[in-house]
Each structure stands twice: as C-alpha cells, then as structure tokens.
Amino acid sequence: MSDTQTMTMLEAINHTLHREMARDERVVVFGEDVGHNGGVFRATEGLYASFGEHRVVDTPLAEGVIAGAAVGLAAAGMVPVPEIQFLGFSYQAFHQVAGQIARLRYRSQGRFEAPITLRSPFGGGVRTPELHSDSLEAQLANIPGLKIVLPASAADAKGLLATSIRDPDPVMFLEPLRGYRAIRDEVPLGEHLVPFGQARRVTDGDDVVVFAWSYMVDVCRRAAEEVAAEGIGVRVIDLRTLVPLDLEAIVQGVEDCGRAVVVQEAVETNGFASEIIALINDHALWSLEAPVARVSGYDAPYPVGQLEDRYVPDQGRIAAAIRATVASP
C-alpha cells in the first residue's frame, strides 16, 4: 500500500500536473494566467518556477487560439495541456474543440493524433459572474472524437488527470469549481492511474441506484445518507467518464435495484441524463419497477448569484426524487 495524503481536489490536480510534467518533457501547460500567477484558482501553482517559461506559457486572452494551437503543438509531437479559464468561455473555442481537436485523427485518417488534455472548471454554487458556471458536458459528449472526464474526488482527479495526459486522444477534463476546495480525500502519492470507462460505486444499497458525475456525486452521497435514516438503501454511482461510458455499471445498477435516479447540474433538455435514461431503455427496461427519475438544472441560462442555489440540484431535491422513485408502485 503506497503512501497517501489528504488533499483538496485542487491540490490533487496541481500535484498531478507537477508529476506529469516531470515525467514527460513533452507536456506543455498553457492558457490565460496559468504561468506566473499559477492560475486563477492556483491549479498550476509552482509549475512556472519548476518547468520554466517554455513549458508553462501565459497566452493572450484568446480561447480560440489556445484550443487551436494545441492541435499544431500535438502534431509537432508535444503533449498539450491547455486550460480554458472557465468552461463557459469555451464557446469562443468551440469551433476549434468540435471542428478541429476532436477530428484531427479522423480528418488525417490516423496521420496525426491529438493527445490534448483541455482542462476547464465549470459548475455553479460559487457566485461567479455570467458564463462561469455553465455545464456543457452534454454538448461535448455529442462530438465524436472527444473523451469526457469529470472527476468527483481528489484521488480520482489525480488518477483520471494522469490517464488523460497520457491518453493518445483528446480529453475534455472538466473540474468542478465548487469541489476545488470543498472536496478533500486521501490521494495516493505514488503512481496512480484511473482507467476511463469504469464507474465508481460511492455508496452501497439495493433499493435505488443514483447515477451522477462531478460535484453532483457528493450531493447525491449526502442525499443517500439522509434517506438511509428512513431505511432506503441507495447505491450512488459516480460515472467518472461520460465518453467512454461504463454501460455495464448502469445496467448492473438498474438490474440490482430496479429503480433509478439520474442527477445532473446541466440544463434538463438534451442533458447527459437523457442519454443515460435512453440507455436504460435500450439495455435494462425490463428490470425497472418504476420510471427513471431525473434531477437536473432547468431550461434557463445558468442564473446569477441570488438565484443559483435553487437552480442547481441540492440534497433536498435529490432526496425527494429518491423517495418518490422508491414509493412509485
């Protein structure tokens, strides 16, 4: 058993960036304020001092060329780890992410690959200005060629980030703003890789299965504890990666529990929860004893600070959905 240390998710990300840059000199970190300042959240703290101005690069304020330059850097044989300061700003890079990064391998029929890990924080609850909190994982999961990775624990942030940086395909590595400092757990200090497409069981139970990712996993865990007092056994599954997706864990959960709830922070219409419910329909419909419930954001732009707490699914809304699903005849 290797040594562990309690870290926040932010510390785990920073620790992993240091390790991966030390491990592979092709890794280049770049973006707005990532260098001297160490990132607006300090995710890249100390990298500039350790690895220098050629590998830790402050870019002009231009998301399109941050994403686009990653394509060329990759073709030159580097391993780009760009940061988009907030995922909502990636609208200004979307043409490069969807039209270029995702399909470099495909367009060139395997001549070039894009081992790019694009890191970006997202999600609500921290009173940010407009466009800092949008959850865009469903849009990104709709683009063939990208892998979509969303850690929910500090240990996973390390294991999934290391896997992402070493993966030959482009990865959208989405970090929960609210979890940066709120999420703390034991992180292995040595080599720690978490494979893609393997969901994690967070709580045990066989009355109802709850599927979630990123910060919502922690909220679901608290909701599970709340209803446990009422005798409801909840299995919370952290999907970890939406592409590739652990279909077996979804099917197994539904077969074992017969009832399911899917939780997401994003807008309801066409959210990734819809995809999970469709997969349950395809692969586990006859195991269901009740309709699958969905707890989600609403079909409105992510709101300003005074309105955001009730827009994002909270423990109470999730617990209510669990109770209703279990009570459904």
Partner 1 sequence: MAEPTTSGGPGADQLRQMMREMIAARVFSDRAFNLQRQGRAGTNAPVDGNEAVIVGTSHALDPTKDWVLPQYRELVGLQRFGDEVIDRYTLYVMGHPGGGHLPEPIRVWPPQISLAAQIPHAVGLAWGMKLRGEDGVAVVFFGDGASSEGDFYEAGNFAGVLDAPVILLCVNNGWAISTPTSRQTAATSFADKAMAFGFPGVQVDGTDAVAMHEAVSAARERAVAGDGPTLIEAVTYRLAPHTTADDPTRYVPEDVLAEWRERDPLLTMRRQLEALDLWSDTDHEAAQADADERMELAVQRAEATPTPPDGFFDHVYSEPTARMQRQREGFNEHYGLTGGGAS
Binding residues for partner 1 (CB under 8 A) = 28, 54-55, 59-60, 62, 64-65, 67-78, 80, 95-96, 99-100, 105-113, 144-145, 147, 167-169, 197, 243-245, 247
Strand partners, 119: 83, 173
What is the C-alpha to C-alpha distance for residues 260 and 285, in angstroms, rounded to an integer? 11
Residue closer to partner 1, measured from CB, 145 or 151: 145
Q: Coil, helix or strand for 303?
A: coil
Please check whether residue 219 is in contact with residue 313, taking contact to mean a CB–CB distance below 8 angstroms: yes
CB of 159 to partner 1, least distance (A): 19
**Nearest-approach distance from CB 62 to partner 1, in angstroms:** 4
Between residues 188 and 197, which has the closer beta carbon with respect to partner 1? 197
Smallest distance, partner 1 to C-beta of residue 141, A: 11
Nearer to partner 1, 145 or 258 (CB): 145
CB of 53 to partner 1, least distance (A): 11
Shortest reach from residue 105's CB to partner 1, in Å:
5
Nearer Cβ to partner 1, position 209 or 245?
A: 245
Q: Are 30 and 82 in contact (CB under 8 A)?
A: yes
Q: Minimum distance between the CB of residue 125 and partner 1, rounded to whole angstroms?
A: 31
Please tell me whether residue 93 adopts helix, strand or coil conformation. Answer: helix
From the CB of 162, what's the least distance to partner 1, in Å? 17
Sheet holding 208-212, edge to edge: 200-201, 234-238, 208-212, 260-263, 293-295
Contact partners, residue 222, CB within 8 Å, separation at least 6: 315
- Torsion angles phi and psi, residue 97, rounded to 5: -70, -55
Two tokens, residue 189: 């200090």
Q: Which segments of the chain does DSSP mark as H helices, in order?
A: 9-23, 47-51, 63-75, 94-96, 104-107, 137-141, 154-166, 179-182, 215-228, 247-257, 272-284, 305-308, 315-327
DSSP letter assigned to residue 230 = T
Of the pair 228, 247, the CB lying nearest partner 1 is at 247
DSSP symbols for 39-88: -TTSTTTTHHHHH-TTTEEEPPS-HHHHHHHHHHHHHTT-EEEEE-SSGG
Report the distance separating Cα 293 and Cα 234, nearest Å: 14
**Among 36, 54, 132, 283, which one carries the catalytic annotation?**
132
Nearer Cβ to partner 1, position 244 or 303? 244
Active site residue 132: yes
Q: What is the dihedral of CA 81, 87, 89, 91, to 10 degrees?
A: 100
When the beta carbons of 73 and 273 are compared against partner 1, the nearer one is: 73
The token duo for 123 is: 């999600």
Supply the DSSP symbol for 301: P
- Catalytic residue ranges: 132
